[in-house]
Chains A and B, each alone.
Chain A
Amino acid sequence: MLRFIGKRLWHGGLTLAALVTLTFFVMRLAPGGPFSRNRKISPEVQANIEAAFHLDEPVWQQFGRFVWGVLRWDLGPSTKHRDYSVNDLIASGLPYSLTIGFWAIVIAALVGVALGLAGALKRNSATDYLAGTVGVVGIAIPIFVIGPLFQAYFSLRLGWLPVGGITEGWRSLILPVIVLALPNIAYISRITRTSMIETLRENHVRTARAKGVGWRRVLTSHVLKGALLPVIAYLGPATAAIITGSILIETIFAVPGIGRHFVDAALNRDYPLVMGITLLYGGILILFNIGTDVVRAVLDPRIRNER
């Protein structure tokens, strides 16, 4: 098991290195630079600024500087947000992204699994149709349509919740969390339903029923584990995607999280900030992928033996 984790971590590290390297050079290759959009500034001032950020050095030297910085846990200063280091910006934005992402995935997992199970156990019942409808709607209506609609209705029309921002504490987070959870509820309930139906049809479940240990026990100790494995396989990457994909939510609801920083940074060619967030996102994604594999290996002895 330890060897398995070690191997996955090693592969993950390689992927992360590849990602960071690629991002670094792609950013430099992309037209424009951090200060090229500025209004008229004298060439000398521009040169000074660029020198201050080491942009006058050859690219490979800048890359070395970046790698050295990463090793010292220092991602450098932001070129857009003067006087802030990338570490500061990430530290200030990450809590919002994490909080919203965490609650969204928890709600999505609970509601999604419940809907999927109910639908599979009582097929073609009212619950099944409700779950199906939620599934279809959640997948078909994008976040950036349903988000503004929720704002228009719950905030502007009814005045129940703030439109955006973070000034009202947890009340500010309700809409972003719900909107972010919706498509995931849809996916999770679909996966749960399909996998549950498939598992119920499996031969070993029939064996368990033939043992006469009771339906409840058949469900809990013979069906659920197998049926939820695909859900778990989905949850890991989905959690990472939710945390890293909160860009839309943060834009719609004006939450000062990491996602918003990233888009701004990319558009403004804030090289250090882009690199920092890429590293963070890549790390989160890879860690969650590894975590998922480990959990699956723990639950499924066949996977465990394979490696």
Chain B
Amino acid sequence: MTAEPLLSLQDLTVRFRLPQGETVAVDGVSLDLAPGEVLGIVGESGSGKSQILYALMGLLASNGRAGGRAIFQGQDLLSLTEAQLDRVRGQDVSMIFQDPMTSLNPYTRVVDQLAEGLIVHKGLSKSDARAEGVRMLDRVRIPDAARRARLYPHEFSGGMRQRVMIAMALLAKPKLLLADEPTTALDVTIQAQVLDLMAELGRETGTAIILVTHDLGVVARLCDRVAVLYGGRVMEEAQAEALFDTPSHPYTRGLLAAMPRLEAALTPRLGTIPGTPRSGGGDLPGCPFAARCTERLDHCTTIRPPLLQIAPDRRSACHLTEKTLGAAP
């Protein structure tokens, strides 16, 4: 990575206070993102992947607390006040949510929801902002955009709503787009369309994207780089191709093995890795995947494997690779 990173996560943690004690959802994640890059964060549900995005946006649930640092354009997003955050959110950083059916305001016309950000952030007049909104709807290929813009969200299908969300997120030409499983709630047949559209528009505006998903097919299709998350920790991080060609971490291998090999399958979902995913929990001494790992070593449950550089542009957190690495040179 030559250029200065657009976003740099440094030891990011997210903890939740619960009646039965504190739980760790994100456990010391460090990642860099270059301008214009598409980074995929993959993991099973409960791996803490969505919480990373919420932490960046200052949208954690009220019992959640983020630690560490998230440097975006020279400022730490985690230390901003709500008012300071509002100068970043919706302008430099936008977010697309998982469930398009409920993520739009049911009481407001679509065009006004699009226009709102422009009016507040850019000081546009209502009519200019609306015109801009309609233009954006056109770009996300909503047919008859001028007329549909005046409808309410419930008059749109799920796929259309997610296009509206994409339009809304990219309207301000943000530097960074956070997408939290943007297609899981959609019909299989339109998932691909929506994703391609998002990536395409992202490229046009030069927007970097963090795409959180549990769908390896989506990652293979869109992402430059991938981080595999398990139990709130990064297991492996690599260029997308390298990861799929030569997965180094046992968990990544398990994920890939569970993925249907048929190229024709539209959404290769995760199959099964034996055992239950570890979700959060308190501090764990060893590797979070140890309990389910088929290649477990004795010290896997007691000593936490560090995330090591195993090749240029490639990191992995596993005692196995540590061993081979140590043996190789």
Contact = CB atoms under 8 A, between A and B. Distances in A.
Do A and B belong to a common assembly? yes
A203 B105 CA distance: 9
A206 B102 CA distance: 10
A174 to B, nearest CB: 38
A169 interface: no
Question: Which of A206, A212, A213, A302 counts the most chain B CB atoms within 10 A?
Answer: A212
B120 A213 contact: yes
Q: Is the interface of A mostly helix, strand, loop or mixed?
A: helix
B116 A212 contact: no
B86 A213 contact: yes
Given A203-B97, A217-B120, A302-B154, A209 B89 contact: yes
A207 B104 contact: yes
B105 A207 contact: yes
B152 A211 contact: no
Interface string A206-228: 11111111110100011001100
A214 B58 CA distance: 13
A210 B154 contact: no
A214 B103 CA distance: 18
Interface in B82-139: 82-83, 85-91, 94-95, 97, 99, 102-108, 116-117, 120-121
Interface residues of A, number: 23
B59 interface: yes
Interface in A273-307: 299-302, 305
Contacts of A300: 106-107
A198 interface: no
B57 interface: yes
B4 interface: no
B241 interface: no
A221 B107 CA distance: 9
Contact of A212 (B103, B117, B165): B117
A207 B82 contact: no
A203 B152 CA distance: 16
B106 A226 contact: yes
Contacts of B121: 212-213
B106 A302 contact: yes
A217 B120 CA distance: 9
A65 interface: no
A255 B99 CA distance: 56
B196 interface: no
A303 B97 CA distance: 25
Interface in B11-43: none
A204 interface: yes
Contacts of A214: 83, 86, 120
Interface in B154-197: 154-155, 165, 168
A203 B86 contact: no
Contacts of A217: 116, 120
22 contacts: A203-B97, A203-B102, A204-B102, A204-B105, A207-B104, A209-B57, A209-B58, A209-B89, A210-B59, A210-B89, A211-B89, A211-B117, A212-B88, A212-B117, A213-B117, A213-B121, A214-B120, A226-B107, A300-B106, A301-B152, A302-B152, A305-B154
Given A214-B83, A301-B106, 10 more contacts: A204-B103, A208-B116, A210-B57, A210-B89, A211-B117, A212-B87, A213-B86, A213-B90, A225-B107, A302-B152
